[in-house]
Amino acid sequence: MKHQLTFYLKTWLFSLSIILLTLIFGFLVFYFSTAFFLEETQKSNFKEDVHKIETTIQNEGVQPEKLDAFIKLGYQILIQDEKQVLYPKYVFEADSLPSDTDNLIMRQQVTDDPLMPPSSDDQNLITVVTTDSKNMLFENKTITYQSKTFHLSVTYPISVTTKDYQAILFRALPIFLAIGLIVSAIVSIIYAKFFSKKIQSINQVIEQMSDLTYEAPEIIQSKDEMQLLENNLTDMYNKLKNTLQQLEAEFHYVQRLEKDRQFFMKGVTHELKTPIMAMSTMIEGMLSNFPEYQDKEKYLQICYKELHSMTKLVNEILETSKLEGLQFQGDTNVAQCLATVSGFYEVLIEDKQLDIVQNVDPQLKLMIPEKYLLKVFSNLMGNAIQYSPAASSILINTDGGKVIVSNSMKEPHQLDPNEIFQPFYSIHSEDDDDDSHGLGLYIVRKILMSYGYQISCHIEETHLTMIIEPQVR
Residue 404: the pLDDT is 96
Is a pLDDT exceeding 50 seen at residue 114? no
Q: Facing residues of 457 across strands?
A: 466
Is a pLDDT exceeding 90 seen at residue 13? no
Residue 3: the pLDDT is 47
- Give the pLDDT band (50/70/90) at residue 104: very low
Is a pLDDT exceeding 50 seen at residue 2? no
Residues 115-141, mean pLDDT to the nearest whole number: 58
Is a pLDDT exceeding 80 seen at residue 460? yes
Greater confidence (56 vs 233) lies with 56
Greater confidence (122 vs 172) lies with 172
Is the distance from CB of 417 to CB of 469 less than 8 angstroms? no
Greater confidence (434 vs 170) lies with 170
**pLDDT per position as a tens digit, 257-282:** 787 777 677 767 767 777 888 888 88
Residue 428: the pLDDT is 57
pTM of the predicted protein model: 0.47
CA distances (Å), origin 300, targets 101, 189, 295, 303 = 149, 99, 9, 5
**293: helix, strand or coil:** helix
Residue 407: the pLDDT is 94
Residues 104-120, mean pLDDT to the nearest whole number: 37
Residues 91-102, mean pLDDT to the nearest whole number: 41
Is a pLDDT exceeding 50 seen at residue 380? yes
Domains delineated in the chain: 2-164 (no CATH), 328-473 (3.30.565.10)
Greater confidence (247 vs 10) lies with 247
The Cα 328–Cα 471 span in angstroms is: 16
Residue 131: the pLDDT is 52
Q: 438-467: string of b/e by CB count within 10 Å (b at 16+)?
A: bbbbbbbbbbbbbbebebebebeeeebbbb
Total H helices, total E strands in the chain: 9, 12
Other Cβ atoms within 10 Å of 88 Cβ, number:
20
Residue 462: the pLDDT is 86
Question: 59-63, 83-87, 103-107: which has the minimum mean pLDDT?
Answer: 103-107
Give the whole-number percent of the chain exceeding pLDDT 90. Answer: 20
Residues 207-231, mean pLDDT to the nearest whole number: 73
The Cα 455–Cα 440 span in angstroms is: 13
Is a pLDDT exceeding 70 seen at residue 466? yes
DSSP string, 83-123: SSEEE-SB---GGGS-TT-TT-----B--S-TTPPPP-S-T
Residue 161: the pLDDT is 61
The Cα 86–Cα 60 span in angstroms is: 14
Residues 298-319, mean pLDDT to the nearest whole number: 83
Calculate the dihedral angle through the C-alpha atoms of 334, 339, 343, 345, rounding to the nearest 10 degrees: 60
Average pLDDT of the residues of the chain: 78
Q: Which helix (H) or strand (E) holds 141?
A: strand 135-145
**pLDDT per position as a tens digit, 383-442:** 999 889 999 999 999 999 999 999 998 877 778 888 888 887 776 555 455 556 678 888
Is a pLDDT exceeding 70 seen at residue 93? no
Question: 124-138, 187-201, 332-346, 411-425: which has the minimum mean pLDDT?
Answer: 124-138
Is the distance from CB of 220 to CB of 231 less than 8 angstroms? yes
Asked if residue 88 has a cis previous peptide bond (ω within 30° of 0), the answer is yes
